[in-house]
Structure 1
């Protein structure tokens, strides 16, 4: 039986492969953009508030910072405590148009040694984890140019 595919967090991204995008919200009053999305009020403390509209965010950005995670993260992250922990690479990426920084994992196989601040990356669909019935989806960052 094939696993169903579901977003780990509903409403944070849309699309597949080339059309994959993170979703944010933009305030009509001050034009501030937020990720994760905001549905109740503008997070800008200097804004009187305005209507919030869902917007797809830039698919590309530049590495702002990066590190690796050498510890097993706490709940709600799902991992089998009986298996050894494999570190993953984390990136903070400044989005091209919105100029906001979004944190996420690098695609599998990309190590800290492969990255540099300012490097261009793109958002792609990724797998957070799988259980017997479901593949839980998230986003990953992938360098746009692979160095040999």
Structure 2
């Protein structure tokens, strides 16, 4: 994705939070402590967040693509500037998904067309991406998102 000159090609809204595998599927990227194995998202390369660990080096790793819906809500109001919001604003669901293998809960938007009424705690969710906005140069900027696993 990065490095392209095609203004129609999607680019991440924030570099380094997800990457695509060889099959084009997204994976969230995390920092993983080389001392205790604790994961941190968004990723960083230093300072383990585990208070019981004095490790300082975190390696970048791909996390699981599926997890369990831990909690959710529906955003009924447009975010204030400088955050992008469509006009007219459409409510959207936000999911907290637990990745059991990593022992971490990751927040993200739920794909358009899915409302909070469609979600149930405990259901399986799958990582995907979705457009967030088009920048001033015409590039579509994408973010990680959750969808109900099929």
| TM-score category of the 2 structures, normalised to the smaller one | 0.7 to 0.9
Tell me the equivalent position of 1:12. 17
Task: Say which of 124, 141, 144 aligns to 1:139.
Answer: 144
Matches within 5 A, 1:86-97: 86-97=90-101
* Contact 1:5/1:134 (8 A) holds in 2: yes
Among 108, 112, 119, the alignment partner of 2:112 is: 108
Deviations 1:13-61 (A, max 9, x none): 0006753100001101111001110222111122111421111011000
Contact 1:60 1:96 in 2 (8 A): no
**Alignment partners' CA distance in 1, 2:99 and 2:81:** 28
User: Which ranges in structure 2 are unaligned for 5 or more consecutive residues?
Assistant: 1-5
Q: Distance in 2 between matches of 1:27 and 1:131?
A: 34
Displacement of 1:2 after TM fit?
Answer: 4.5
Residues 107, 142 of structure 1: 8 Å contact kept:
yes
Runs of 4 or more consecutive aligned structure 1 residues displaced over 4 Å after TM superposition: none
Q: CA RMSD in A?
A: 1.8
Number of positions where the alignment pairs a residue of Structure 1 with one of Structure 2:
143
TM-score for the superposition, normalised by structure 2 = 0.87
Shift of 1:119: 0.2
